[in-house]
Structure 1
Amino acid sequence: MADPTRQLLRWLAAHDVPGRVLLLCADAPLPPVARDTLVVRLPGCLKDTGIGLPAQLLASGVGAVEVTACPSATEEAAAQVTGWTQVLGDRVRRHTAPPLLRRGRPTVLTLGQVPLPRRVVLGLGGLDAAPLDLDLDDAARTIAALRLLGAAPRPDAATRADSEDVAPPERDVLAAAGPPSAAAALAVDGCVACGVCVRACPHDALVLDHDGDTSTLTHLREDCRAELECLRLCPVDAFSTSGSLPLADVLAVPTAVLAEVRTATCERCGARHPADEGPLCATCRFREGNAFGSSMPPGLAERLARRRDEST
């Protein structure tokens, strides 16, 4: 998947970091700019640009991110920029004409069409010193940038999905971030602690811990990318989702407990299973009565039967 912001950060890491970056909507005219200004033309409109772009630019050493009025969606773009300013401070501001104009044309890059830096082509390096890890995806870099800029609490500020764990002023500022995160808002009901969801998640965003007779399923929200393999593959249909989590919620509460299940260890195979099922797990109970048979995972037979009924 294309990551245009990574391309821009890679270009910045191979050049002298500009004092200002001016973000322009695709249809906005180019205004006069100061000598130390890099112009970045967006493929669309400011109103559709998340806070990740200005946050990552500032975290990479850019002195200020400037914007001009959008010619086609003035009010929506202005509201978006206001949200950026509430989170990132006065380093995001409206562009004003400089007292002294630069000679020649400024450097103008189009987001999504940023050329590969010559240093990278020649293998000369120079990207290791980038403040942000360019191996991370855009969602992870956005969170890292906001934390680096002091615009969000540290990950240990709250460990439970409880809004009271975060001070109200902090929540108000984070809420201005506006756009949804890459994480899914997950809910779990009827978990049997089988661990299928943990193995299914391609981003290791789910953790199942066993402590005594309790098994706890935890959602690592910062690592979640809402691919929903957990929901699709859960054998007991325990997962549901209400869409994407707000970025503010992910920043404030990066780890949430989805389920706590009282479990026991199967006396035959050692697998964890709900304690109220008895001393044996579902598979071993089946094998005890069907020595030469085979068993589907718990709940899968009922699930397949429901789907057959729905399709007829």
Structure 2
Amino acid sequence: MSDPVRALLRWLAAHDTPERVLLLCAEAEPPPVARGTVVVRLEGCVPDVGVGLPAQLLASGVGVVEVLPCPTDPGPAAAHVAAWSAVLPDGVASFSPPSRRRSRPEVLVLGQIPLPRRTLLGLGLRDRTPLDLDLDDAGRTLAALRLLEEAGRARPREDPAAAAEGTAASPTAAAAARLLVEGCTACGVCVLACPHDALVLDHADGVSTLTHLREQCRSELECVRLCPVDAYSTTGPLALAELLEEPVAVLARLTTAACERCGARHPADEGALCPTCRYREGNAFGSALPPALLARLGREAGPQAGAREGD
């Protein structure tokens, strides 16, 4: 997956850090700016970009991130920038034309950032940026916000827009999904399904605990799709404020027992055997899917089966 922000940070790390970076929409004409300002053209419009971009720029040493008003849809773009400013109060501002020393700089296009000469020559950049460029965008965003918060330049935990979060396009949405679990059987399928190891299932003293490591979650929702008992649901992405306040969340806690035959954990009130071994006890040479999974597959196949019958 491409990471245009990483390429921009790599370019900045290879050059003198600018005091100002001006962001502008893909359709906007770059205005004259003060000398030393780096102009970055976005791939789309400002509302398509999360707070991670200005946060990472500021954490990398940029003094101020300015945003040119959107020429095609100024209202939503202005509201988006206001949400950024609530989190980064002294680091994000609307563009102010310089009173003197104007210049027309080269424009960097996000997604088409040239490879720095230092990189071509094999010179490292790690000592020139406080952010770990090996992290993905979500990881760098969290690291940047923590650095800025420690420096008194960010207020992500007091984000007034947090209550309005609910879509991935929200200005301050996190990469993690807000997961809800009801009816967990401690089977562990979700733990194995998660490609980012964001779920942990612990068994101790007869209690199984399912925990969500939210900072590692990237909302791929394999847990929701593959849960055999449909225990998972989600209400959309977390707000960054909520993620930073509660990076680890317990999703389920239930009393379990080890199956007397195979040792698998299962809800203690189901008896001495797990569902699989209970079935095999009466059907030595048969096999069966969990009842909840079988019901779900039947619901999903229903419309298709009806369509075939009508052909």
TM-score bucket (shorter structure): 0.7 to 0.9
Distance 1:73 1:304, change over 3 A: closer
Report the counterpart of residue 138 of structure 2 in structure 1. 139
Normalization by structure 1: what TM-score?
Answer: 0.86
1:27-85 Cα shifts (integer Å, max 9, x gaps):
33322222221111122222332211111100111111112222222222222222111
Distance 1:230 1:173, change over 3 A: closer
1:152-176 Cα shifts (integer Å, max 9, x gaps):
57xxxxxxxxxxxx8xxx3537568
Report the counterpart of residue 77 of structure 1 in structure 2. 77
Using the aligned pairs only, state the percent identity: 66
Compute the displacement of 1:233 (Å): 1.2
Report the counterpart of residue 246 of structure 2 in structure 1. 253
Distance 1:301 1:49, change over 3 A: closer
Mapped to 2, the partners of 1:73 and 1:219 lie a distance apart of 38
Contact 1:200 1:229 in 2 (8 A): yes
Report the counterpart of residue 265 of structure 2 in structure 1. 272
Compute the displacement of 1:262 (Å): 1.0
Match of residue 244, structure 1, among 218, 237, 240: 237
Report the counterpart of residue 7 of structure 1 in structure 2. 7
Q: Establish whether residue 120 from structure 1 lines up as the match of residue 119 from structure 2.
A: yes
Contact 2:199 2:210 in 1 (8 A): yes
Report the counterpart of residue 159 of structure 1 in structure 2. none
Report the counterpart of residue 31 of structure 1 in structure 2. 31
Report the counterpart of residue 54 of structure 1 in structure 2. 54
Distance 1:94 1:295, change over 3 A: closer
1:216-270 Cα shifts (integer Å, max 9, x gaps):
1111222111211111211111112223233332233222221111101122222
Mapped to 2, the partners of 1:78 and 1:52 lie a distance apart of 17
Following superposition of structure 1 onto structure 2, how do residues 102-121 of structure 1 map, counting pairs within 5 Å?
105-121=104-120
Contact 2:180 2:232 in 1 (8 A): yes
- Unaligned runs of 5+ residues in structure 1 are 154-165
Compute the displacement of 1:297 (Å): 4.9
Report the counterpart of residue 163 of structure 1 in structure 2. none
Mapped to 1, the partners of 2:119 and 2:20 lie a distance apart of 23
Report the counterpart of residue 255 of structure 2 in structure 1. 262
Q: Establish whether residue 233 from structure 1 lines up as the match of residue 232 from structure 2.
A: no
Report the counterpart of residue 160 of structure 2 in structure 1. 172
Contact 2:162 2:239 in 1 (8 A): no
Contact 1:178 1:246 in 2 (8 A): no
Aligned amino acid, residue 116 of structure 2: P
Q: Tell me the SS of whatever aligns to 1:109.
A: strand
Following superposition of structure 1 onto structure 2, how do residues 150-229 of structure 1 map, counting pairs within 5 Å?
150=149, 151=154, 170=158, 172=160, 178-229=171-222
Following superposition of structure 1 onto structure 2, how do residues 298-309 of structure 1 map, counting pairs within 5 Å?
299-309=292-302
Contact 1:152 1:174 in 2 (8 A): no
Report the counterpart of residue 44 of structure 1 in structure 2. 44
Aligned amino acid, residue 65 of structure 2: V
| CA RMSD across the alignment | 2.3
Compute the displacement of 1:9 (Å): 0.6
Mapped to 2, the partners of 1:91 and 1:229 lie a distance apart of 37
Mapped to 1, the partners of 2:188 and 2:142 lie a distance apart of 28
Distance 1:174 1:185, change over 3 A: closer
Contact 2:21 2:39 in 1 (8 A): yes
Q: Establish whether residue 291 from structure 1 lines up as the match of residue 279 from structure 2.
A: no
Contact 2:161 2:172 in 1 (8 A): no
Distance 1:67 1:179, change over 3 A: same
- Unaligned runs of 5+ residues in structure 2 are 165-169, 306-311
Contact 2:187 2:265 in 1 (8 A): yes
Contact 1:26 1:45 in 2 (8 A): yes
Compute the displacement of 1:6 (Å): 1.0
Mapped to 1, the partners of 2:79 and 2:297 lie a distance apart of 48
Mapped to 1, the partners of 2:294 and 2:31 lie a distance apart of 65
Normalization by structure 2: what TM-score?
Answer: 0.86
Distance 1:73 1:294, change over 3 A: closer
